[in-house]
Amino acid sequence: MLDSLNYIPHASASNAELATHFTDLMPPLNARQAAIESARCLYCYDAPCTRICPSDIDVASFIRNIHDRNVDGAAIGILKQNIFGGSCARVCPTEILCEDACVRNHDAEGQPVKIALLQRYALDNMSFTEQPFQRARSTGKTVAVVGAGPAGLSCAHRLAMLGNDVVVFEAQEKAGGLNEYGIAKYKLTEDFAQREVNFLLSIGGIEVRHGQRLGDNLHLKDLHANYDAVFLGLGLGASRKLGLTGEEAAGLLAAVDYIAELRQARDLAALPVPKRAIVIGAGNTAIDMAVQIGRLGAEEVTLVYRRGFDAMTATHHEQDIAKANQVRMVTWAQPLAVLLDGFGRVRGMRFEKTRLDGGRLAGTGETFEIAADAIFKAIGQTMDDGSLADPLATLLQRDGDRIHVDEHFRTVLPGIYAGGDCVAPGQDLTVQAVQHGKLAAMAIHADILMKLEAA
């Protein structure tokens, strides 16, 4: 996958040294710290932190359980709403969600309760010897789920809880989706993503089949014919293009491809690391890419965005992480041309300065160049059209590059549902994908029971 960088030298530090650069971004709370932090919660009757949580976690309740030293009770309260509560505690942008809404954030203290760290404390220290959720009586029905990412696995877990059997079809060698392949290594460390998947699957009734790619060796028409319902948790598998000449040159590739290799690498020292890197983008993936290539040893990392800081989809917290890791951030500049050396390899990029003209982005005509040995594009993901290429899939209604669904995640095709990043645009957050999967599972189950009653 990194053939485009095969001419770039490997990291200069040893694997052992580099591994120290990818420890937890935020150290976990110990029991004493969790007790003190949970005591700060006011347990609001109409808790704004709970109301803003995309997965409907009763935040005040689980924090109360931690305060009362009922860690398992806190964990169950989280997991019954969000089976990926452990990863969400690490990657969810709580600074713009629950912690931003916390009443402590708006009083004289100006410091919200550390909700994410408390959620992590509960789930890291729970002491279940087996899956705490029991399966309901079997419905005798089997549902196909396409995609073993947070949306697909959340859907599968809830369907299994409700008594359905589930077969999950996954293209990759490992389940977990972006948690396994796309999140910064310093956010989900070591094998956490797989341990969370294994815990989820321990409920039983869920079979995962790997190497199954929709539109290749798997077809929607067959799933629709052979299963009682189908849930599409496809994600967005294709990287958007810059639309510039030279985009296919050696040294220019999608940030998500490099991050996937980084997360799966057994030897970090074997990764190609450019001395000078440019990252194009303004979201969390762009920040993750820029920070990680710097931690691997790149001497100069420049993140470039065509608008200003306030328009970036990466939160101010993420931007602060980039700045703390010496990432140079250049705004109001758009890519104009890929600069190549005599061997047809990246040597830099030319940019045009931009401004707002009547509320619309416009070029100023003023250009500048940044030298680089590699360029990583993180300008967003889009639907891989090959996954929806069979005759039945072409009947799915689309809103741009997303699958259209109703409020219950039903597509226009009876018995086929969809959720996660592949449906109507949101913030493309893990926690939202988990919620989509959960709510879709409940809709699927209700529709299955309705059919059973009508039979």
Classify the C-alpha dihedral 191-196-200-204 as positive or negative.
positive
Please write down the long-range contacts of 131-134, taking CB distance under 8 Å and 24 or more positions apart: 131/199, 131/202, 131/203, 131/204, 132/72, 132/75, 132/76, 132/79, 133/79, 133/80, 133/161, 133/203, 134/161
Strand partners, 170: 210
Q: Across residues 28-47, what is the average pLDDT?
A: 96
Whole-angstrom Cα distance, residue 60 to residue 46? 9
At 83-111, the pLDDT tens digits run 999 999 999 999 999 999 999 998 787 89
Angle at 283 between CA 57 and CA 150, to 5 degrees: 40
At 327-350, the pLDDT tens digits run 999 999 999 999 999 999 999 999
Structure tokens at 248: 């296919």
The correct CATH number of 3-22+239-381 out of 3.90.180.10, 3.50.50.60, 3.40.605.10, 3.10.580.10 is 3.50.50.60
Share the mean pLDDT of the chain.
Answer: 95
Structure tokens at 315: 């939160």
| Band of pLDDT at residue 426, cut at 50, 70 and 90 | low
At 220-269, the pLDDT tens digits run 999 999 999 999 999 988 899 999 999 999 999 999 999 999 999 999 99
Closest CA to 206 of 256, 163, 267, 254: 163
Q: Across residues 314-336, what is the average pLDDT?
A: 96
Burial category of 335 from C-beta neighbours within 10 Å (exposed 0-12, middle 13-18, buried 19 and up): buried
**Architecture of the domain defined by 40-124:** Orthogonal Bundle (1.10)
CA distances from 228 to 1, 35, 315 (A): 37, 47, 41
In the chain, CATH 3.50.50.60 covers 3-22+239-381, 142-237+383-454
DSSP state of 214: B
Among left, alpha and beta (phi > 0; psi -120 to 50; other), residue 343 is alpha
Question: So what's the pLDDT on residue 391?
Answer: 86
Whole-angstrom Cα distance, residue 371 to residue 30? 45
Contact between 203 and 340 under an 8 Å Cβ cutoff? The reply is: no
Contact between 325 and 40 under an 8 Å Cβ cutoff? The reply is: no
At 133-178, the pLDDT tens digits run 999 999 999 999 999 999 999 999 999 999 999 999 999 999 999 9
The residues, ordered by sequence, that sit 6+ positions from 87 with a Cβ below 8 Å of its Cβ are 150, 179, 183, 188, 192, 193, 196, 430
In residues, how long is the chain? 455
Angle at 152 between CA 195 and CA 425, to 5 degrees: 120
Closest CA to 423 of 406, 439, 438: 406
Q: How far apart are the first and last CA of the chain?
A: 50
The residues, ordered by sequence, that sit 6+ positions from 16 with a Cβ below 8 Å of its Cβ are none
CA torsion 372-374-378-381 (nearest 10°) is 150
In the chain, CATH 1.10.1060.10 covers 40-124
Strand partners, 363: 354
pLDDT over threshold 90, residue 366: yes
At 185-224, the pLDDT tens digits run 999 999 999 999 999 999 999 999 999 999 999 999 999 9
Ranges of H-type helices in 114-214: 115-124, 150-161, 178-181, 192-201
Q: In what order do the strands lie in the sheet with 346-357?
A: 333-340, 346-357, 360-371
Structure tokens at 247: 């985009």
Whole-angstrom Cα distance, residue 317 to residue 4? 32
At 285-302, the pLDDT tens digits run 999 999 999 999 999 999
**Domain spanning 142-237+383-454: CATH superfamily:** FAD/NAD(P)-binding domain (3.50.50.60)
Question: So what's the pLDDT on residue 123?
Answer: 97
pLDDT over threshold 90, residue 8: yes
pLDDT over threshold 90, residue 389: no
